[in-house]
Amino acid sequence: MKIGITCYPSVGGSGILATALGEELAGRGHEVHFISYERPFRLPVNSPRLHFHPVVINDYDLFKYPDYTLPLSVKMAEVSRDFQLDVLHVHYAVPHATAAILARAMLPKKIQPRVVTTLHGTDTTLLGRDPGYGPAIHHALTHSDAVTTVSAFLKTETQHVLGFKGPMEVIHNFFTPRAPVRSRDEVRRELGVGSETLLFHSSNLRPLKRIDLLLETAARIQPREAFKLLILAGGDFTPFAKEVRRLGLEDQMIVREKVSDIEDYLQAVDLGLVTSETESFCLTILEAMFFGCPSVARRVGGIPEVVEDKLTGRLVDSAEAGALARVVEELIFQPEQRQALGRAAQLRARDFFSAAVIVPQYERLYARVCQQK
Ligand code: GMT
């Protein structure tokens, strides 16, 4: 098939997932065309059947805010026409789904691609509640040929928040780890970590990730010498430096910003820590699971679909730093228990959230919507 994919190209779960999906589809013989304002950062160059079409945005003085939706929709229509796309698969509703619906309407009926929209989380849970976005998202979902969500939780939220009553298929996220370039020992040496437990947090640091709670939790873990905390930051960490100093955590913290070789770090860490207010799925937990690293997370959103408490990680009901810290301490001082959780997490990742399990679900969906043509 000929499939167009639009996603956010920078660091972020929805973009990572969409890029991996495109790569997997090309590997299975499909022709894949990425359409975005930048080349997705994990998209390989010179790979057969993988193409990238940049959207050019001109900055006109007459606009206070530059518009992306219109040039994106024009590029989507052009690529659909020139490469006879069967499907336009858009990841993250805003503005991608709206642009796809417009692109399709610009084309003559017989060359219109099918539009598949995948909701990832904040496009429903945050923007869906915004009266300036909600109706446009609802319209785009209603006019998509298929809608998928990355968790059952997100499907329910979409029904509640947007009042969307149409069919939605739950297709969980997947991850295909690349081989690390450096060894675990080399990476731990780079980080200055010896036998301490290496805690791990990876996120875009937005308020929803509750970095305040993450740092407060780290500050409550005793004794301090027992751990270090590695943060892979998909954003600027400097605003948090003052809080790190206030909590006296300078010696425990290691921060790396905008890392692309995440696998090097994933193989070197021992325990993930996720303090988010909500997550529709939490790809970072899954990425760590593939390397046998379990996580401690709050029991929120779609996380219980990924982590089974006490089997493949730990879920904490409380949003209180002390409660999270007690569970982390337990796993620091019981390495056998932590490693058993990690081994089970790795098996679960492979059996339920690998490309081999998930990608065929998208292929079947594409075939189904194309039959309706
Ligand atoms: O976390 C974000 O706000 C970014 C967003 C994204 O576009 O990357 O993440 C969402 O999509 C990820 C991939 O499906 C999910 O793993 C994240 O849980 C989800 N984030 C939220 O729901 C907050």
Give alpha helix (H) positions in 107-181: 122-125, 134-143, 152-162
pLDDT of residue 216: 98
Taken in order of first residue, the domains within the chain and their CATH numbers are 2-175+355-370 (3.40.50.2000), 184-352 (3.40.50.2000)
Q: What is the 3-state secondary structure (H, E, C) of 308-363?
A: CECCCEEEECCCCHHHHHHHHHHHHHCHHHHHHHHHHHHHHHHHHCCHHHHHHHHH
Residue nearest to atom 19 of ligand 1 (CA): 121
SS3 annotation, 42-58:
CCCCCCCCEEEEECCCC
Residue-by-residue pLDDT tens, the chain, 373 positions? 999 999 999 878 999 999 999 999 999 999 999 999 999 988 999 899 999 999 999 989 899 999 999 999 999 999 999 999 999 999 999 999 999 999 999 999 999 999 999 999 999 999 999 999 999 999 999 999 999 999 999 999 999 999 999 999 999 999 999 999 999 999 999 999 999 999 999 999 999 999 999 999 999 999 999 999 999 999 999 999 999 999 999 999 999 998 888 999 999 999 999 999 999 999 999 999 999 999 999 999 999 999 999 999 999 999 999 999 999 999 999 999 999 999 999 999 999 999 999 999 999 999 999 998 6
Which residues contact ligand 1 via a Cβ below 6 A? Answer: 12-14, 17, 92, 120-122, 125, 150, 173, 204, 206, 208, 278-283
Give the distance (Å) from ligand 1 centre to CA of residue 257. Answer: 18
Q: How many residues does the chain have?
A: 373
pTM passes above 0.85: yes
Q: To test the ligand 1 pocket, which listed residue (14, 91, 210) has its Cβ within 8 A of the most ligand atoms?
A: 14
* pLDDT value of residue 373: 64
* HSE-CB of 324 using CA atoms within 13 angstroms: 26
Atom from ligand 1 closest to the CA of residue 125? 22
Atom 17 of ligand 1, nearest CA residue? 282
Residue whose pair of structure tokens reads 């849970």 in the numeric block: 125
Ligand 1 centroid – CA 228 distance (Å): 26
Contacts of 189 (CB under 8 A, 6+ apart): none
Which atom of ligand 1 is nearest to 286's Cα? 16
What sign does the dihedral 137-140-141-146 (CA atoms) show?
negative
Q: For residue 122, how far is its CA from the centre of ligand 1 (angstroms)?
A: 6
DSSP annotation of 275 reads -
Neighbours of 371 (CB within 10 A): 8
CA-proximal residue: ligand 1, atom 9 (nearest): 13
